[in-house]
Structure 1
Amino acid sequence: MRLPRRVPWASLAELDQVCAWIYTDEHDLDAKVLAINRLSAWKAITPLPHALESTLALLVTIQQDKSTQGSSLNHLSLRHGYAATIIRLVNGLVDPLQLGAYARSIASIAAQLGLPAWLVELRHAATHEDLPSIELLREAAQQSMGWLLQNYFLPTINPASAPQRQTPPLRPLWPFLKQYKTILKTVTRDASLRTRYKQEVNAIIRDIERWIAEAKVAANVAVGEIDWDTGERTTGQARGGDRDDNMALREKWALEQFCDALLEKGGLVPVSKRKRVFPEDKFWPPQLSVSLWTPLLKHVQVLHADFAYTLCTRILSILFPNEPSKTASIQNDVGVTAAAAKTDSSYDMCLARWVMWSLDTWSNPGSNFARGEETDINLGRDIAVLLLQAPGHRLGDTCAKDSKAIKALLQVMCSQNPAYTIAVDFLEKPSSQFVPSEWTDSDITTMTDRLTQLLSPTTRAAGGTSIPESASAPTATSAAGGRSGTMEADASDNLPDGWRRVEATDWKPCPIGVFHRV
């Protein structure tokens, strides 16, 4: 559930009015002044979203430019004013979306937002090169105002009629993984080359991390949630928890896309079945695969604490192909698709062994293996719960998918933790043993008797005393805890425990729950 957030306007009608003042008539300077005054008043009482703050700065600069046209005033101050507003607009949009451990280019993030590329170039020129001309800066300001109208005002005022945002597709991840795999194969075969290829391996890992950051931005843009509220974030106001939840969801989605690419044949699982030779001493993947992928997996885990859990859950989603997703996800319309169900038994077995490798490598209850922080995360426990709670799947069903990999994984986990054995024995029973028997006449009779007792006109008091509804009208008041109420009881009846009789002269009718003594 989205938490409420603070906005400057009392209703969307106020924002609509400001939008009309700005965009209805380009030459109506009085309307522009009204918009500037309203935005300035809002800014005095609450931090403005970045879009409105940029709109205010652009309006003030454009208004100053129009009021001084025809005069001999030097254009240098106006050029600086225009340049500053463009720089702040671009930086305010891009900086919150630098979500990875390694910085991405401003141009690539702006392209994902649909921001015109030449505005990014203008921002670079105004910051590091000669100040652009006044004509170019005026055109940039006009295009910026138009972009804000299409991407902020209209979607905010009327979300239903806002056009669907077209998000650039994600770059394919497999070329990076293939290049990494090729180099690691060379290094694994000849350890003396490790130093020679160290820089190249690190560069590929940085590119992969940038791809994950790009996927997080793509998830943000796909649902139409550009991070406008930079003012609220810096002042630490009430929306922080909701923002953290949203960002965690975006990162989860990005990690799922990364894991899906890893789990394709040729990634963590070798393409050739002859290379799927498993060690006999432990339930791990082939030694060569472990040597190739361990550096990358551990690096990603250090930067993303949820990676190990995400990798294991994506593997389980393949081993249980009919299992509905247990995690919230974003509509997959921006890139890599989820891995399809596989029918290769050795492929399944290799995936199950990667789960065990993950548990042996990262399952350490009581401490965060990635950052050395105290935590209550127990990866082994969480994965065991997912395995044992898989609905609609029993290990003993002959119609279910080949479950040798799941059985083998559970056996190894049971050997490490005998507490799981009882649950595994239950799962191995055929589901036919759990079909409920047919209803009998005695069952119907028992339920009818219970229903008759519930509908009986006699009310059973808490102390076990029956009080007929036909009794007359004295009032009983509970002496315990100050609570009171009325009940009909005949003078000859015994009162339940905790009730006492009040004389009619000492009370008058009151609402339920209120006792008023005269």
Structure 2
Amino acid sequence: MSRNRRIVAWRTPADLLEVKAAFYPVSNGEDLRPMALAKVRAWISRTRIPHAIEATALLTEATLHDTSSHSALNSRLSYSTAICRFVNGLIDPAQQAQFALPMHILARNLNLPASFVEIRHAATHDMLPGLPVLRAVAARALAWLWDNYWVSVGVKWTSEVTGSGEEAVLQSKARMALKRWRQLRREDPRKPLKRFDKTPEGRETYKIIKECAAICRGEEGKEALIEAFLEEKGLIPAGKKKAPLMNGAFHLWLPLLDSLDASVSGFSNMLLSAMLDVFNTTRPLFTLLDGTNPDDTHPPEFMEAVLAWLKHLTSTNPEPKTNFGHQAISPIDYDELIKQCVVRPTERGLKFLRHLLNEYPAMNEKYARIVEIAATQVVLPPAKKAEDGTDTRKRKLEEVEAEVKEFEARFEAMKRQKAEQEARLRDGDAMQVEAVVETVKAGRWKKWNGEWTPRPIGVL
């Protein structure tokens, strides 16, 4: 369950399989190629699509236009354009050497017949090939696209659908386990766990811990459980006002987090990294027609709750107590967390960084300057007006003064650098400078009256 999502133009895998079946029908029936062409045009208007799909559409459209209602020249132009785009789209991305390689070599590396390159060259630089030749080459191009792209599309999507089904099962198991934990511990979340508790409640508690550890046997299972943790009614309390509920959430979930941290390798770093990813969620590609943007990340209360968890799990003396991140099996990698915050700085990420520097003063020497540089890269959200009309994002006077002093220091450094450059120019040979100036003023060469030393012409 990778968090790196890939945007595609089709809505479901079935849409792509339907277009595949229309371009390459198994039996003779209704011609569905016009429908497939309309779908591909709609996909192109949404986002970029694979070159093989676009090339198939162009070649198919040229074939459909090859009728008596169109002139021979029109058909030749359609075929030639489709074949040229088919070849260029394959070869141009492969042209990555410092010096351009011959197209025949690139085509051979791609297992592309040389005849395609020759027809492309003729259609571009010579007379257009005749219709019989173009028809044959277009048919061969469609066959090549089937063998090298379309034949594997069904297998690829089938495996992806199967994989997504397994992910859904893991997510369902994770949510059910956390729901049972919440129901079991809700009445008395402060009750400590006893290792050999033989009561029904104690047996059920350790059964849930074992189930969660079993889910985390693979990377996808870990991601499924962490995703369930970072939902409302997981680590994040339900409701709008979450801050007053955080202490209860700490008591409720810390025993389970500590147990997983002690039994699942890498769990602590993976959970903290996923929490930081909540701050880095990017905006959607499209905005609403009325100009507003949909909920691009999470509500502010949700983000603050995640920040509270980050601070609590990385504190040196938290209350309630926790051993999270202090297990030998997977200690917290603070360097990696700081790197994640610095590479993609956010307002709450910087709050977390400053929390780490306060909790672990030894890090200041190594990271304090980097954190300050990252702070200059953060783009604050637009100012919001409170009910009384005041700006809710006004900065403190001390912060503004500190920024003004920083800019003054930069300005003084720039002035010193400019003065040093001017001094170096003045330290040059005064006689040579004077001679050059006089020469420029005179507009011609002047005789040198000083001691003569043979030099190449134009050199003083």
Q: Given the two structures, how large is their TM-score scaled by the length of structure 2? A: 0.34
Q: Which has the higher helix share?
A: 2
Query: Higher relative CO (CA 8 A, sep ≥ 6), structure 1 or 2?
Result: 1
Q: Given the two structures, how large is their TM-score scaled by the length of structure 1? A: 0.30
